[in-house]
């Protein structure tokens, strides 16, 4: 019942129970500071199948070097704060409001929301966070204070999830950056079938 842009519902709250139910049904919140909570389920859906990750020669060299260090779930709130400050083309302000930070931090404490952090010489320089459903990782946002730092976090995460046999990474909506890393658009009904365990990724 979503409209052409993927908008499905307006209102509600960001309780852990509602957020988890939404993600399990292919729905995510996205709204501005001065707006009601908007719930989205776009069609088509931008996803990355872990075995389709594209890694450039320059990034392969970056991955082999010891320039960056990766950690997981060590400073979730700091990652969210950095993601909220990222300037994005065509967008004023941020959807990562104080309410959103509280809600996802609560999910993090319940080990549902996770973060990947990238460090350089002891400084946090990149990372990403999202919701982990156990077979699908729903990416929310990433940031980079050094060239390739967020890309490093993303590729390392995908490689880990590939080993754990995750079905896909939900990237939500199209960006050229995600497409360059191997993400693709698939019909929402196929996304939902994979999300709810009715299809394998190759079907």
For 35-56, the pLDDT digits (tens) are 789 999 999 999 999 999 999 9
Residue 90: the pLDDT is 45
Indicate whether 196 pLDDT > 60.
yes
DSSP state of 30: -
pLDDT per position as a tens digit, 126-172? 999 999 999 999 999 999 999 999 999 999 999 999 999 999 999 99
Contact yes or no for 171/47 (Cβ under 8 A) = yes
Residue 140's DSSP bridge partners are: none
Residue 88: the pLDDT is 55
What pTM did the predictor assign? 0.91
User: How far apart, in Å, are the Cα atoms of 34 and each of 3, 92, 122?
Assistant: 22, 12, 36
Task: Kindly state the tokens that stand for 31.
Answer: 């709204």
Residue 201: the pLDDT is 47
**CA atoms of 25 and 188, how far apart (whole Å):** 11
DSSP state of 78: H
Radius of gyration of the chain (CA): 16
Q: Omega into 44 within 30° of 0, i.e. cis?
A: yes
Residue 1: the pLDDT is 74
């Amino acid at each position: 019942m979503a409209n052409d842009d993927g908008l499905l519902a307006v209102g509600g709250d960001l309780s852990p129970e509602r957020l988890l139910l939404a993600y399990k049904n292919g729905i995510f919140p996205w709204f501005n500071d001065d707006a009601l909570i908007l719930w989205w389920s776009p069609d088509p859906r931008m996803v990355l199948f872990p075995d389709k990750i594209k890694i450039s020669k320059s990034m392969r060299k970056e991955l082999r070097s010891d320039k960056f260090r990766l950690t997981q779930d060590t400073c979730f709130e700091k990652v969210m704060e950095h993601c909220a400050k990222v300037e994005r083309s065509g967008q004023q302000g941020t959807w990562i409001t104080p309410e959103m930070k509280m809600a996802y931090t609560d999910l993090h404490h319940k080990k549902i929301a996770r973060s990947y952090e990238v460090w350089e010489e002891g400084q946090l320089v990149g990372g990403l966070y999202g919701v982990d459903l156990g077979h699908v990782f729903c990416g929310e946002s990433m940031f980079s204070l050094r060239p390739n730092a967020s890309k490093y976090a993303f590729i390392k995460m995908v490689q880990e999830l590939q080993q754990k046999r995750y079905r896909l990474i939900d990237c939500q909506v199209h960006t050229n950056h995600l497409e360059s890393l191997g993400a693709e658009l698939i019909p929402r009904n196929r996304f939902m079938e994979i999300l709810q365990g009715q299809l394998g990724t190759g079907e």
